[in-house]
Amino acid sequence: MSAAGSERDVELRDPAYVAKLLPFLKLAMKGWFRSSVTGMDKVPDGGALMVSNHSGGLLAMDVPILAVAFADEFGVERPLHVLAHDMLFTGAADLASGARALVEAGAGCVAVTQGARGALVVTRDEVIEVPAYAVDVVDTTGCGDAFSAGFVLGRAQGRSLADSAALGCATAAQVAGGLGTDAGAYDLAAVEAFMAVTPTR
């Protein structure tokens, strides 16, 4: 995969096809799932990164729900490019190779969860494996989102990639130990205290 290849994929997008598909997608998202998205008016012109939170079920509905809201706000001409699909379609045989392909395509850093194996962080210069914390797993719904929150907070605080990924893994472990995405209540101090006493796998 190359940056040029990525740009070609976006250029091949057919707004007329999107316009034909949109009424059916809207019927499902708004009629059946009763979706509601707010804040689309805050999306800036040009490129923007939006992170959505999904249900963790068999089929995550965050992408089609966002697609409908995005098209309602900006029309079908403005493309919505979903990054998760890039990882799926890199053609890589393993996660590390897929992450490297995304870095080669222009991403500065790719951080990916690996379930019980922890997380993988790939940049142009390094590949970092961070182990998961040893917890009794009850439900993994929301663990990826929790990891992202911890990782992004760590980077915002100036932590290293490895330390940020460890914070992400610890945050995910808080969620994995309870049922559902809102299991328990914790803050940064609680997560750091957990990290200090909990072994990794």
Last residue of a domain, one of 49, 74, 99: 74
Tell me whether residue 95 is in a domain: no
Number of compact structural domains in the chain: 2
Same domain, residue pair 69 and 116: no
| Cβ-based burial of 58 (10 A; exposed 0-12, middle 13-18, buried ≥19) | exposed
Predicted pLDDT of residue 170: 95
Same domain, residue pair 60 and 133: no
Alpha-carbon distance 201 to 190, whole Å?
A: 20
Tell me whether residue 46 is in a domain: yes
Residue 100's CB is within 10 A of a number of other CB atoms, namely 20
Tell me whether residue 97 is in a domain: no
Binned average pLDDT, 10 residues per bin, the chain of 201 residues: 50 83 89 85 77 54 83 89 60 82 86 90 94 90 86 94 96 82 75 93 88
118 is in which domain, residue-wise? 112-197
Q: Which entry of 62, 86, 125, 145 is annotated as an active-site residue?
A: 145
Tell me whether residue 187 is in a domain: yes
**Token representation of residue 99:** 């992450």
Predicted pLDDT of residue 54: 55
Same domain, residue pair 122 and 192: yes
Predicted pLDDT of residue 167: 96
Alpha-carbon distance 85 to 138, whole Å?
A: 28
Same domain, residue pair 62 and 118: no
Predicted pLDDT of residue 58: 47
Tell me whether residue 138 is in a domain: yes
Tell me whether residue 69 is in a domain: yes
145 is catalytic: yes
Alpha-carbon distance 79 to 47, whole Å?
A: 10
**Token representation of residue 91:** 């053609």
Tell me whether residue 123 is in a domain: yes
Same domain, residue pair 121 and 187: yes
Same domain, residue pair 12 and 58: yes
Q: How far is CA 28 from CA 34, 65, 66, 69, 96, in A?
A: 8, 9, 13, 13, 35
Tell me whether residue 88 is in a domain: no
Predicted pLDDT of residue 67: 87
